[in-house]
Chains A and B, each alone.
Chain A
Amino acid sequence: MPDHPQRSNAEWLHDLRATGTVRDEAIVDLRAYLLRAVLIYLTRNRSDLAGFHYDELRQLAEDWTQEALMQVLANLDSFRGDSKFTTWAYRVAINLVAGELRRKRWENASLEALTESESPDLSLKMDDTSVTPESSLTRGQVWAAIHSVIESDLTDRQRTVLTDVVFDGVPIEVVAASLDTNRNNIYKIVHDARKKMKQSMEARGWSADDVLAAFSGPGGE
């Protein structure tokens, strides 16, 4: 018997809203779909899983699957039917697991040190030996313009978000939690910062090609 029985969207909703054996079987089937999605996510490019013990990760996978299952069942009414039910359920599961895994990866990092740093390291340390002097000059000028926007045009909160997310690679969820906001606002803050920086470049008449060429590494395109 395949472990992924096929159901139409209507059948999923009907069965999951039913009672008794019908619902139980649908839940078991849905759980298998979600567990598979969680495992596929975990087995794809998760080099950062190396620090986990198998037992620990297996337990986490089961817990996340269970949590995703609960979320799906609690939000059946919000399923609009404009995709396959399983795709919608996958989204719930992956969104949950991805966020949890990113948080776990950073739970030992000192966010406090990141966010309270008054002068984050924004110096440009790229290797200049493999680019032309012109590119090196452009690179320095572009970075100076970016640095100027960061220092002069951004609020403290924007500067903190930008340095954490962009330069320190802190997951958005982690930064959002540390600033008591949500990931959407973090995205908007970074977007506003990018807009200001782009305007600054355009005001100086730099072409995108020139800027990209200046920042291409050895062997870059």
Chain B
Amino acid sequence: MSRRDIQIQRFIEQILTTEPIELDCLAVLDIVERYVESHVFGRDVGRLGVDVPLHFKHCPDCAEMFAVLAELAQLEASDLLPDINSLWNQLAGMTAPAIGGNPDPAAAGAAAGAAIAVRPASVGLLSLGDAATSPGTVTSGTVPAASSAPGATNVALQGPSLWQRLRHLFFGDAAATAAAGSQGRRPVGAAAGTVRAGAFPVFASVVALALGLGWWHAEQRADDLEARLQALDTRLSVVAERASEHTEMIAMLQRLDRVKGNRSPSGAWVKVHYSPTYGEAMVLMGKLPKIARGQKLEGWLMRNGFPPQSTGVVPDEVMHEADYWTIPCSTPMKDATTFMLTLEPEHTEVVSVALAP
């Protein structure tokens, strides 16, 4: 297939996988490092485990950034970051001969180290951020040359990079395959079965993590929760633009299509944004009663004819910071389903919200 054919085929796939609401580049950029670490360290990402990969499918630039960040985080977590000299050497092998001759990789590495040592740019930098630090504090003598640790292992150089593999996975990228082959690496697509069977455990682990779904609990503070709630009930899109710092909240809210709220005589209030389809709910609450030592607030889903289903204890950070609480909400929303907050162990009902008649 020609390059144009591949572009058309890819575009057709993108059209077919288009969703009415997608995370945009800014939203993904705002969360990408947390998303990366969720994969590398096996944390749950919840709905974003669907929404972010979908964005990557439609945005090769963001997918590229994710792939290289995942590789960096994986290497750092494994204490396998390559030494800088080896990277300079590899770069020398990839580029056109240097002006004035083809550099010897070893010499190039040494030269690279020297370049770091004498490069004065960081001196200028220091004068920008901190007036208390005089320009020139960092001298060439304090800048370490790139280490050339003997025997340093660079596992990332043993086969197609994670980036190439993910890029191929997402896009079937012929360029990535060709590039891998041209660099003496195993073409990704040519023998995918053997490649994925065990030659690349890092790849296998990342893909396995990428498939994991769960809940991502993020800690975000709300500056003006009441005001945001008013807006959230009416125009999610407007809030999405105004509150980009709450990206993951907006991303989840965009998935949730119903909202119910109630207020108790004591002033405690609860709003539940939820989607029976996605089995997710976001609970926002305020003016909760003071919790005495030994007490806790617990959430419940109640249905006629069924025992109460606990949604768990309200997390401390929600209590203290008036933030949101995500809960699984897979119970079919019928038979007068009600979300209830109770004060335990007295079992005092704080407030209840009828989610379905």
Contacts and interface: CB of A to CB of B under 8 A. Distances in A.
Interface stretch (B159-167, B224-232, B276-284, B326-334): B159-167
Contacts of A94: 65, 68-69, 72
A2 B147 contact: yes
A3 B146 contact: yes
A194 interface: yes
A40 B91 CA distance: 9
Interface in B97-140: 97-99, 103, 108, 112, 115-116, 119, 121-122, 125-126, 128-130, 132-133, 137-138
Contacts of A166: 7, 11
Contacts of B218: 82
B82 A87 contact: no
A53 B83 contact: no
B219 interface: yes
A3 B147 contact: yes
B72 A87 contact: yes
Contact of B73 (A73, A84, A173): A84
A215 B9 CA distance: 6
B356 interface: no
Given A36-B84, A83-B34, A61 B121 contact: no
A208 B133 CA distance: 61
Contacts of A24: 126, 133, 137-138, 142
A105 interface: no
A27 B126 contact: yes
A83 B36 contact: yes
B202 interface: no
A185 B133 CA distance: 40
B265 interface: no
- Sorted nearest first, the 6 A-B pairs with minimum C-beta distance are A39-B87, A217-B1, A194-B18, A83-B33, A47-B179, A44-B161
B125 to A, nearest CB: 6
Contacts of B59: 172, 187
B84 A45 contact: no
Chain A interface helix/strand/loop/mixed: helix
Interface string A61-87: 111001001100110000000111011
A45 B167 CA distance: 10
A205 to B, nearest CB: 14
Interface string A179-221: 0000110011011001101100100000010011001111010
Interface of A: 1-4, 19-20, 23-25, 27-28, 31-32, 35-37, 39-47, 49-58, 61-63, 66, 69-70, 73-74, 82-84, 86-88, 90-91, 94-95, 98, 102, 124-127, 142-143, 146, 166-167, 169, 171-173, 183-184, 187-188, 190-191, 194-195, 197-198, 201, 208, 211-212, 215-218, 220
Nearest to B87: A39
Contacts of B22: 191
Given A3-B146, A23-B130, A87-B69, A66 B81 contact: no
Contacts of B163: 44-45
A86 B76 contact: yes
Contact of A53 (B6, B26, B99, B137): B99
Nearest to B20: A195
B20 A28 contact: no
A25 B219 CA distance: 31
Given A3-B83, A35-B84, A35-B116, A43 B4 contact: no
B69 A90 contact: yes
15 contacts: A40-B82, A42-B91, A42-B94, A57-B95, A62-B121, A63-B121, A66-B122, A82-B218, A84-B37, A87-B33, A94-B65, A166-B11, A169-B7, A198-B15, A212-B12
B270 interface: no
A124 B98 contact: no
A45 B174 CA distance: 11
Interface string B76-94: 1000011110011011101
A47 B178 contact: yes
Nearest to A186: B25
B206 interface: no
A87 B36 contact: yes
B298 interface: no
Nearest to B128: A70
Given A90-B72, A217-B9, A184 B25 contact: yes
Given A3-B84, A82-B219, A87-B72, A58 B115 contact: yes
A188 B95 contact: no
Contacts of B72: 37, 40, 87, 90, 94
A98 B24 contact: no
A69 B122 contact: yes
A198 B61 contact: no
B243 interface: no
Contacts of A143: 8
Residue among B36, B91, B163, B180 with most chain A CB within 10 A: B91
A75 B175 CA distance: 35
Given A69-B125, A211-B16, A50 B82 contact: no
Contacts of B12: 142, 211-212, 215
Contacts of A198: 15-16, 18
